[in-house]
Amino acid sequence: MLLTLFESHTHFFLSMFQKMILTKIISNTLSLHKKQLIEWLPAVRYFSSPTNPLVNVDVNDKSGIAVVTMNRKPVNGLSLELFEAMSKALDDLENNRIRGAILTSSCPTVFSAGLDLNELYQPDKKRFKAFWTTFQDVWLKLYGSSFPTAAAINGHAPAGGCFLAISCEYRVMCPDYKIGLNETRLGIIAPIFLRASMRNTVSNREAEKALTLGTLYSTEDALKIGLIDEIAIYKVKAIERCENFLAQFNNVSSIARSFTKRSLRQKDLEELENCREEDFNIFWSNLIEPSVQKQIGDYMQSLKKK
């Protein structure tokens, strides 16, 4: 009887011990799978603000690459508010020491249609001064960023859309779209910093022709003159190609790379920094010319009929 009682208690304690061991094994296994799942899934940190949905920024913690998506539908017209959102996003990215940024659009067929014509037509000088100053800020921050940049151009990119693309270091464009600085077609003079970006992208000769004629290039023609670097059939592929470009810098000193980029672009950046007020005055004087205002007004009317 005593032996039976001993066996019973032994069996009880063994069962409890086995359960504890089994529970531990299951717990460790689940933790391991959870860890593996977390490592397998792309870690993404979101910087977009619910109070400002115009620009969404997704940063992949594993690669350190941010995808910056313009989200002012239907065509990402560059308004004061969109420029302010972009300026804030670029500040956040600099402060978070990312490894690279890809600029793209949430619109299905338009990267950006350029400056919002409502900002240009019959403008209020005080608002337009704020608009132009923020426009300058965005260029200085994007063109002079410490991190490498690329543009996944998933739609048409005339005027200001082209400006954003050529402010980046690398451009991948989807087929069957147009890109170019066509300001002269509306009687508008491309500002000094847009001209600098174009000269930095294509040869001086091509830049002169493009700017004076206001040429809009097809994707294929843009590739031929070096306005873009690659063609990708879909947006997701364009982003992938941009990621491949940025990944090339993984084995390059970020300090050396950033210093080299800055030194190559320093003259252009300083040129604007030293004449921001003059740049505004020149553009404002041109913009309020009656003939220019009429051209912009007529063009806006023609868009409404489409």
Active site residues: 115, 160, 182-183
**Distance of alpha carbon 302 from alpha carbon 298, whole angstroms:** 6
The rounded distance, in Å, linking the Cα atoms of 250 and 138 is 26
Alpha-carbon torsion, ordered 134, 140, 141, 143, to 10 deg = 130
Query: Length of the chain, please?
Result: 306
Q: How far apart are the first and last CA of the chain?
A: 99
Alpha-carbon separation of residue 300 from 131, 158, 191, 297, 305 (angstroms): 19, 15, 21, 5, 9
**Residue for token digits 């002169």?**
208
User: Is there a contact between 153 and 174 (Cβ–Cβ < 8 Å)?
Assistant: yes
Q: How far apart are CA 239 and CA 253, in angstroms?
A: 23
Q: Strand 178-180 vs strand 149-153: parallel, antiparallel, or unpaired?
A: unpaired
- Coil, strand or helix at 179: strand
Q: 55-60 and 65-70: which strand pairing?
A: antiparallel
